[in-house]
Amino acid sequence: MALKDIKGVGPRALTLLSKIGINTVDDLVTHYPFRYEFLVRGNLAETNDGDHIIIDGKIESSPILVRFKAGLNKMNFRLVTASGVVGVSIFNRAFLKSQLTVGTTITVIGKFDKPKNVITASEIKMESLSNKVKIEPVYHLTSGLTNKNMALYINMALLGQSKEIHDSIPLKYQEKYNFSNKRLALNIVHNPPSKEKLKEAIIRLKYEELFEFMFKINYLKEENKKANSGIARSIDESKVNNFISSLPFELTKDQVTAVNTIIKDLKRPNRMNRLLQGDVGSGKTIVSFIAMYANYLSGYQSALMAPTEILATQHFSNLKEVFKDYNLNMALLTGSTPKKEKDLIYEELKNGDIDIIVGTHALIQDDVTYHNLGLVITDEQHRFGVNQRANLQNKGQKPDTLYMSATPIPRTYALTIYGDMDVSTIKTRPKGRKKIKTVVKTNKEIKDVLELMYEELKEGHQIYVIAPLIEESENSDLTNVNDLKEKMTLAFGSKYKIDLVHGKMASAAKELIMNEFLQNKVQILISTTVIEVGVDVPNATMMVIFNAERFGLSTLHQLRGRVGRSELQSSCILISDNDTKRLEIMENTNDGFEISEEDFKLRGHGDLFGTKQSGDMTFKIADLKADYKILLQAREDSLEYLLDKENDANKLRLISAIIHS
């Protein structure tokens, strides 16, 4: 069943759904609500001033429509409820006027102004409340897509997909935990009959998602154990030391330790499986370059895979600079590499003429064959699926593997996810790098922020400006990139070039704009979190983040790490009217490991029926912190199931999905 086959989903709906990452029926039915509205009949006498109220009644007066400038409008009318008459005001719903006739029964949801006896409505439903508690799912949407339509599409998909819903929880664990089947759980999550049933369904779906994830991790760990014999190298360490001495800077203590440990790993006959984690700007990349040089000295090829073309290109440029006096043949392979050049690279990789290859997912395409791949490095490893990383490892004759991550993960979580890896950590910052000054400002202080920005621009420096949204979203007053571009153009457009990038843009368009920013053809780059992992721009000295309360501390730290990439003093301004106490942690420390621990502590398990927080690992319904106990149980169960010698259809399907994804 395809999306286009669902009743009511036409070309326009397909386009809107695609905007929020829904391209298949499975994407649709697992587009889980981010919160729920509990519709319980309110009472005017028992409601305090400023409270959220849900109340039904009959319209007593015809709505009066008032129109303002810029297309804004407001309707006012009176509503007779069981607990008295109340005034209702609602903005920008002029299209409802013809339906809001005297005597019609409606339900109003909104904020109660007790002194004025008026409800400012956020929503009006053309029906009365039942005596039961009604639970309504609320979905993430995009402009032009309503919550009602989303719920309709999902339910139509569930009706037509009964035979296509695969249940990944083995029967023994369904029985052990008294779980319902997946189809029923999905129906409950999207159409909750009660709080209790909803809670059970959410736990069941979280367990399944974490079970699948840990099954993949455990499967790959077991495969690594089977193939643990690797390459025993002979490395001339004096040449490695001479190379390190030739660098225009001195390695930090942590970098030296990491290099020495990696060299030992490369010399051992066992396959290296190491995570190199370090804070943003700590100098992981040069450690990986040294590892590739040692691998080259032993006669093997190295492959460095990055998540974006621009980051791969940056690594390639840095490699050429670092090894300009050395006889290494290097190449860059990405999706946009011309076919003629690609074919030449394929041939040179196969016959061993290329010593180091840098690229994106293009490195793991079927056409790519290596002569003697000895070292695989993945940068920003959390941006790749476990299968993508495994595919690159399988390109060589048991190559050693080094993962790099600038996303500090608390130790207990690292042990869970990277349990089979050795971990090297770089905490000390390179000499000459100054701490990034971070301050929290409110929207009332925006004039001060603009003045600070102007001071940086006058010095010839560049600025990142971050918004949490790409476009205006219904029922949201959050800043979006298009609004920000207008405001920044108004403030600085006559003197400085301003542009924007976001995740929904085509890769080529993003690459072009980010390259222009790198070359200082653009002075202010407005963006969503797409630049969290991106090009290194030493001249960028300021990061301004709007609605900073919407981001986790770890994400804010990653964003902040885009500046401070040189000896220039850099700063980060967090703009928020809410949650400023939490944001003070960012003012007080530049230590990503400390911040990640605080982030997990502060976010806690959250409210089951509130907004879902998402961490660095991408899950649709589960959360590493909130569901850590479920994760541990899923890890234990998935390993037990994997090692069970019985192979049922479900296990074979899971393994096949890992191998072929």
**What's the pLDDT tens digit per position in 149-207?**
999 999 999 988 766 788 899 999 999 999 999 999 999 999 999 999 999 999 999 99
- pTM of the predicted model, to two decimals? 0.57
* CA dist., res. 150 & res. 156, Å (int): 10
For 278-338, where are the alpha helices, taking DSSP H only? Answer: 284-297, 309-322
DSSP three-state, residue 544: strand
605 to each of 373, 527, 602, 614, 627, how far by Cα in Å?
Answer: 44, 29, 9, 11, 7
The mean of the pLDDT values for the chain is 86
* CA dist., res. 357 & res. 301, Å (int): 8
Q: What is the pLDDT of residue 592?
A: 81
Residues 6+ apart with CB under 8 A from 613: 552, 603, 606, 623, 625, 626
Residues 6+ apart with CB under 8 A from 10: none
Name the residue with tokens 């108004």: 490
**What's the pLDDT tens digit per position in 389-399?**
455 555 666 78
Angle formed at CA 360 by CA 596 and CA 297, multiple of 5 degrees = 95
Lowest mean pLDDT, pick from 235-249, 412-426, 516-530: 412-426
Residues 6+ apart with CB under 8 A from 36: 135, 136, 137, 138, 192, 198, 609
Domains, the chain? 3-155 (2.40.50.140), 437-589 (3.40.50.300)
**What's the pLDDT tens digit per position in 382-433?**
444 445 445 555 566 678 989 888 776 665 566 566 666 778 888 887 777 7
Q: How far is CA 119 from the centre of its chain?
A: 37
**What's the pLDDT tens digit per position in 552-564?**
888 888 889 889 8
Crossing angle for the helix pair 253-267 and 237-246, nearest 10 degrees? 150
User: Which of these, 167, 199, 195, 172, lies nearest to 183 by C-alpha position?
Assistant: 167
* CA dist., res. 318 & res. 246, Å (int): 15
Supply φ then ψ for residue 244, to 5 degrees: -60, -40
* CA dist., res. 525 & res. 514, Å (int): 8
- The listed range with the strongest mean pLDDT (32-41, 287-296, 417-426, 512-521) is 287-296
* 3-state SS record for 395-425: CCCCCEEEEEECCCCCHHHHHHHCCCCEEEE
Residue type, position 536, single letter: D
Question: Which pair of tokens denotes residue 428?
Answer: 């000390």
Residues 6+ apart with CB under 8 A from 227: 271, 398
Supply φ then ψ for residue 605, to 5 degrees: -85, -10
Q: What is the pLDDT of residue 393?
A: 55
Q: What is the pLDDT of residue 258?
A: 96
Q: Is the pLDDT of residue 75 over 80?
A: yes
